[in-house]
Structure 1
């Protein structure tokens, strides 16, 4: 803790120094603006006297103001910190005193004196400040007039062909500071009066009129050039998916007739659609030919393209519509290729089939470079399809190595290896085998040994289709949606950490993606077995719980003295029956009434501790089925104006409960049904996760997330297994609290690991560029966890209706992000703004300081 506090102190100190340095220049933003120059501090676009804030319109201005963070021009002030001529200043300082250079040469040498002038403090700092900073934006009226031309052209494209523009420079913002107003008078817009067409190809003509009703250019609507662009794209897609393989978007043009001389109240224009012939460019001439509908003739698949034996004679087989060519041994079932290729002989050509084929072949993960080439057949209107496939290596080996440290681990070294075997059964089935282990030293003395180990292994098999047991194939999900089946099993062994767990898991799952924006996943069976090996360590590991129990025991005068150790604390020494002499015996005596000098609150606390011990030390059998749906509308990684939505529902224990009607299961003393002598979990769980991004302009982004999750136990369970419960706090949640330290409700970290079965989280983050690859963020995180519909009775920890929303914690803070291209490294400093665990009068801003802040480290954005 001292080390963390020391880091926070130094971070705060450095931040203060930087703020003072920058602040010293903030009052002089004109430091590098000459007397006859003007700094642009504001741009305003007024359209018919109405201010326009639309980012697309604002981006048309050539001279944008200096970037600012919440109104503060950080990069401009960093630029102003740089020395203008550091070389000249160094020489002037060196020669200011006659003997200074000679004394330095005697002390350092002439070469080192010269290098001193190139050092970071003398020159490099100024170069760096200029690189990360931003030069002042000086008014240039030539650029202002060019911006007006852009604005005029933009509104021309919206039908305001008679618009007029002017600009006004306002210097009332201060000496050598100006604001520029761009003023546009739109005039009356033009409307489309008539539509006509001139189509040279008969095939195109019939296709056009078949889809003409859906045209985006409509009679009576205001002219908008963007609609014409979208209409060209729409028609091109229709034609290329209706057999016109070589259709070119450039073949579509629009003739626009309007009266630009006479202005009237009824300004109309006539539109004529032209669709020309196919234009081909040869070496010395351009030829044209009529567009025609083409059909697929031969479908040739070359499975050893780029192979070292490709020059050898090829063997071939025919399967359905496919002519498959290969050399050497044929290594894939023809049906697998047929399922991945969506072209059909004698069907019309469709771009959609090409996209789906390429997408599915890549998804198989057994080919390097799927390449589809079309050749015109000698027979008119027929086209041959050649698909070239380069096989990937059958075996891929991966390794990883990591070093870790935590509050329990002094140091840990992790190693892992994975082996991928492709196309193992010749049907594009991929087998993955992985093993990993972590070993190291513990930083606590509560365990008998000072080392730990974690060893695990997994094996999984992926099928490129939906597979059910005893059913070879189902057509419920089309092949173009990239259906996959995964069967996996794994195990892990953990020693000398906590209660030492052993886990076994097995999954039979399916996933498919109808398009790039929707994904479905079903885990028909997800079985997890968790065994706690050293349950007698509970009070050694969960020290907060132990301290609560020990404090209660200290208040009793009738506790058996043998329950205490030499330090007058409850003993945790284990007996041959795996009970502890002090803790277990004390709990037993309290519940049985043998210890009778405790009040009802203390007895209730002991019962709660006993229930928590039972819950966290019992073995778990979790037998679930779940479904997850993901949807987003993001167009590429550069799109910062999108949303994404995730919904998940999970049901546990129902299948086993149903079997109990036919197969007699054993029961424990609490009436729970047992499978392999373990009570199985039974609950229903659902989650909603919604994320929205807004692009605010100039790489400034506002991101928000809303999460709601609830898990309700019933039947064979009174609570949710620890591994399926919710926790609050951490680098991807409420960053003002550490993981598991917030909640439940208004309780104050009752346990070492606080969890519950209801969670609400709300996050808001403003992200902005600082300089180079370094970005900053301001954030506010709200949320909490509660117990509901389970066996927890503490009102402070349970959700009791809308009044419990007062227990929502609020954290706020700031962070830095460094973009390494392949991943983003993140530092966040969170402050407890509203802490529901405090008394009502002290909940706001009580711990809002660096001493109580929480430093979170993360990889990539939290949402």
Structure 2
């Protein structure tokens, strides 16, 4: 009770030393589990064993005397009780000493918030058999507020510095007294002083004098006091004014790793205002080291510059450790010498790895490989990495006529070169400053994969730039992002996309009136070659179907899809990505993250194609290396917001919108750049690739489109221990827009198409292993746009239609 009003705020409850047993919806589940356990289960076992003289003897005939004794430690005898005790929660007993400690803590909390006349009483009552409650009655009294705020600063240079930031003070006249604000103001002043040269200034050099001016309005006068610096001279302590220190010299020490680890300075280089020392031949170009140092000769001492230097050196990923120390210059009482000590990592490293994976397509996979790293390759802290990897996996979604468990495989290699700067012909330092920690990456990769049955070969070449304007903001520019995709097993198409084949097979018995030898097998089903011949007969008008017939459109759609998914792709694009994440450490559960991306493909390809003038494709489009190049513009927006609540509860939402518009040399988007819906990280009421487009009902094996909207909300809570639960709702769909698809069931046709947004709801379970979270989500189709309007709501909410999703870590 606070001022005769019940108060159950989390902040107040967190101050109590004793809290009731936890409960779920009012039921004390963990306490119940604990009470089910037997006390001294092993002793009860021996009591039972010795109750009859022949019981041990008879058991020993079946087992042995040793095994009879071991039964006392078995799961049946004591293991279950031990499990229940560990999982459960012991009863919370009322302790008068803890009640008194809670009262003292509550009093301190209210006094720290300006309630200096607070009184706190407690009462212990019985509320039933072996149950009790503790009531804390708090009379807060009036809250004191700040009135006049003055300063007493003994050091003149600090007084001048304070005057520059006085208007930004966190202490305002009329605000309630708050100890936390006083501490934050001390930290603010200290930070500014230390970034302005006050090398020896510490936060405890600031004190407050707060006194009651004895008026009925409960006003407080506050004095910010900053005394002079205390120094020892012999056996006495005297006070002297603080001084502002400047950097007189900066020394960089690098240590060449050797077996004996002997640090002997036998090489030094002077570069600009820096001196670089090495215990052997210097292995770095001087500029590579000085570019990471923000401590400059002639500048005032600054913690900010020191921290920037630490971050910049760590960003190189070249040094194992770094230490920055300041030494007072013996020749200048107001000067400092900055020494930066760098311990390099090994120049060469080799790392094999094995990993177990799960994705929307791959239910289970094993990945293995190795990587080789060569640091400081050009003596400017560059890093060269080459790697090779292989993967085998299993997928239930793919065609698998031989019922092989590992029906997915992939192998390939990558090479990546990283520069700790913007590598560009034009100087960009005026736009992207070095404190933004810019890097340039050039990477090349080749993979050969057997995943969706078409067995793809993929070559990539990327040049990108990364920098961080702020701690919570990052930017990435892909100057060139080239991807070449070649299908190695296009003849296997109908074995993969079984729904397309089954549809053709059914229609062929009606319309394929002139089949040739080998078009049907012995069972009367279309062969794969026969499926292609049937499509050709329909499209060329050799059947009774006309272009206006529904079946004709269906067959033509299958044909167009086959051509699209088996064609080779050449994508040469550029893109820019902006990311912002306000999360402050892994314990921060109130934050937001935003990502925006824009991509353009085909413009460079178009310029080159016009110059080389290769023959046009069968579709009349321009080609490069005999392949139609992709041309499109694409943009994406992704926003996630998390709110943290009391007792390990949180609420999170995610909004996503993406669109890719083909133009010029293309009338569709490559499969690798299109969108899909469903799966463990999307709409969990549907399996991956099974939702949409639009109201089509997901009739294809792999449904994709070029426009996507998605929204998810999830309430997360703790069951007990490391087991968490979640209630979620996922909404969204994909559509075709501005491409070659014309069927209104597939396309987005304005606001009326928003009725095609699917809704999946369900419950999830998560177990936190500290280094990762294992997740199981049970999803249900709450609103299914693939059905008739009258059958869309709540028709799939039953256990037999549960969509089971497994995942690692949270979906968003």
After TM superposition, the score normalised by the length of structure 2 is: 0.92
Aligned equivalents of 1:548, 1:89: Cα separation in 2: 68
Aligned equivalents of 2:489, 2:579: Cα separation in 1: 40
| 2:619 alignment partner, SS class | coil
- Asked if the contact 2:110–2:140 (Cα under 8 Å) also holds between the matched residues in 1, the reply is yes
Deviations 1:418-475 (A, max 9, x none): 1111010001110111112346899834899x9875331111110000112x346643
Partner of 1:195: 149
| 1:485 alignment partner, SS class | strand
Greater mean deviation of Cα atoms: 498-507 or 175-184: 175-184
Kindly tell me: are residues 409 and 805 of structure 1, through their superposed partners in 2, closer, same or farther at Cα, counting changes over 3 Å?
closer
- Asked if the contact 1:69–1:768 (Cα under 8 Å) also holds between the matched residues in 2, the reply is no
Q: Which of 267, 273, 276 lines up with 2:227 in the alignment?
A: 276
Partner of 1:235: 189
Kindly tell me: are residues 136 and 672 of structure 1, through their superposed partners in 2, closer, same or farther at Cα, counting changes over 3 Å?
same
1:384 aligns with 2:340: no
Aligned equivalents of 2:416, 2:121: Cα separation in 1: 68
Partner of 2:809: 860
Aligned equivalents of 1:566, 1:145: Cα separation in 2: 89
- Asked if the contact 1:502–1:532 (Cα under 8 Å) also holds between the matched residues in 2, the reply is yes
Aligned equivalents of 2:646, 2:559: Cα separation in 1: 56
CA positional deviation for 1:51: 5.0
Aligned equivalents of 1:68, 1:647: Cα separation in 2: 42
Q: Which of 564, 569, 584 lines up with 2:525 in the alignment?
A: 569
Partner of 1:18: none
| 1:389 alignment partner, SS class | strand
Partner of 2:736: 787
| 2:320 alignment partner, SS class | coil
CA positional deviation for 1:167: 4.8
Partner of 1:210: 164
CA positional deviation for 1:705: 1.7
Q: Which of 762, 784, 807 lines up with 1:835 in the alignment?
A: 784
Counterparts of residues 507-546 of structure 1 (less than 5 Å): 507-546=462-501
1:641 aligns with 2:590: yes
- Asked if the contact 2:45–2:77 (Cα under 8 Å) also holds between the matched residues in 1, the reply is yes
| 2:344 alignment partner, SS class | coil
Q: Which of 173, 177, 195 lines up with 1:219 in the alignment?
A: 173
Counterparts of residues 470-481 of structure 1 (less than 5 Å): 470-471=425-426, 474-481=429-436
Deviations 1:629-684 (A, max 9, x none): 11121111111121111111111123334556777564334332222222221222
| 1:324 alignment partner, SS class | strand
Greater mean deviation of Cα atoms: 418-427 or 134-143: 134-143
Aligned equivalents of 2:697, 2:611: Cα separation in 1: 46
- Asked if the contact 2:190–2:201 (Cα under 8 Å) also holds between the matched residues in 1, the reply is yes
Kindly tell me: are residues 89 and 656 of structure 1, through their superposed partners in 2, closer, same or farther at Cα, counting changes over 3 Å?
same
- Asked if the contact 1:620–1:679 (Cα under 8 Å) also holds between the matched residues in 2, the reply is yes
- Asked if the contact 1:248–1:278 (Cα under 8 Å) also holds between the matched residues in 2, the reply is no
| 1:373 alignment partner, SS class | strand
Aligned equivalents of 1:310, 1:252: Cα separation in 2: 44
| 2:82 alignment partner, SS class | helix
CA positional deviation for 1:192: 1.9
Counterparts of residues 432-581 of structure 1 (less than 5 Å): 432-438=385-391, 444-445=400-401, 454-468=410-424, 470-471=425-426, 474-494=429-449, 498-556=453-511, 558-560=513-515, 562=517, 563-572=519-528, 580=529
CA positional deviation for 1:230: 1.1
Greater mean deviation of Cα atoms: 68-77 or 245-254: 68-77
Partner of 1:586: 534
1:156 aligns with 2:104: no
Partner of 1:103: 58
Kindly tell me: are residues 855 and 447 of structure 1, through their superposed partners in 2, closer, same or farther at Cα, counting changes over 3 Å?
closer
CA positional deviation for 1:343: 1.0
Q: Which of 205, 217, 223 lines up with 1:251 in the alignment?
A: 205
Greater mean deviation of Cα atoms: 741-750 or 652-661: 652-661
CA positional deviation for 1:295: 0.4
CA positional deviation for 1:270: 1.0
Kindly tell me: are residues 306 and 530 of structure 1, through their superposed partners in 2, closer, same or farther at Cα, counting changes over 3 Å?
closer
Kindly tell me: are residues 67 and 714 of structure 1, through their superposed partners in 2, closer, same or farther at Cα, counting changes over 3 Å?
farther
Alignment RMSD: 3.0
| 2:728 alignment partner, SS class | strand
Deviations 1:780-837 (A, max 9, x none): 3222222222222222222223333332223333333333332222233333333322
Partner of 1:350: 302
- Asked if the contact 1:557–1:597 (Cα under 8 Å) also holds between the matched residues in 2, the reply is no
Counterparts of residues 564-713 of structure 1 (less than 5 Å): 564-572=520-528, 580=529, 582-597=530-545, 600-657=549-606, 664=613, 666-713=615-662
CA positional deviation for 1:368: 0.6
Q: Which of 94, 98, 101 lines up with 1:139 in the alignment?
A: 94
Partner of 1:766: 715
1:742 aligns with 2:704: no
Partner of 2:245: 294
CA positional deviation for 1:121: 2.3
| 2:199 alignment partner, SS class | coil
Kindly tell me: are residues 285 and 813 of structure 1, through their superposed partners in 2, closer, same or farther at Cα, counting changes over 3 Å?
farther
- Asked if the contact 2:408–2:450 (Cα under 8 Å) also holds between the matched residues in 1, the reply is yes
Greater mean deviation of Cα atoms: 697-706 or 715-724: 697-706
CA positional deviation for 1:163: 3.1
Aligned equivalents of 2:26, 2:674: Cα separation in 1: 43
Aligned equivalents of 2:501, 2:803: Cα separation in 1: 26
Aligned equivalents of 2:407, 2:690: Cα separation in 1: 26
Kindly tell me: are residues 73 and 281 of structure 1, through their superposed partners in 2, closer, same or farther at Cα, counting changes over 3 Å?
farther
Kindly tell me: are residues 82 and 284 of structure 1, through their superposed partners in 2, closer, same or farther at Cα, counting changes over 3 Å?
farther
Partner of 1:77: 32
Greater mean deviation of Cα atoms: 753-762 or 655-664: 655-664
Q: Which of 663, 669, 673 lines up with 1:724 in the alignment?
A: 673
| 1:152 alignment partner, SS class | helix
CA positional deviation for 1:180: 4.9
Q: Which of 409, 419, 424 lines up with 2:377 in the alignment?
A: 424
Kindly tell me: are residues 107 and 625 of structure 1, through their superposed partners in 2, closer, same or farther at Cα, counting changes over 3 Å?
same
Aligned equivalents of 1:623, 1:431: Cα separation in 2: 24
Kindly tell me: are residues 646 and 592 of structure 1, through their superposed partners in 2, closer, same or farther at Cα, counting changes over 3 Å?
same
Aligned equivalents of 1:352, 1:496: Cα separation in 2: 50
Aligned equivalents of 1:846, 1:411: Cα separation in 2: 31
Aligned equivalents of 2:393, 2:452: Cα separation in 1: 11
| Alignment coverage as a number of residue pairs | 805
Partner of 1:59: 14
Partner of 2:286: 334
Deviations 1:3-47 (A, max 9, x none): xxxxxxxxxxxxxxxxxxxxxxxxxxxxxxxxxxxxxxxxxxx44
Partner of 2:23: 68
CA positional deviation for 1:554: 1.8
Q: Which of 375, 387, 394 lines up with 2:347 in the alignment?
A: 394
CA positional deviation for 1:190: 1.9
Aligned equivalents of 1:764, 1:411: Cα separation in 2: 27
- Asked if the contact 1:201–1:277 (Cα under 8 Å) also holds between the matched residues in 2, the reply is yes
Aligned equivalents of 1:439, 1:193: Cα separation in 2: 71
Structure 1: 5+ residue runs without aligned partners? 1-45, 573-579
Aligned equivalents of 1:398, 1:786: Cα separation in 2: 44
1:756 aligns with 2:705: yes
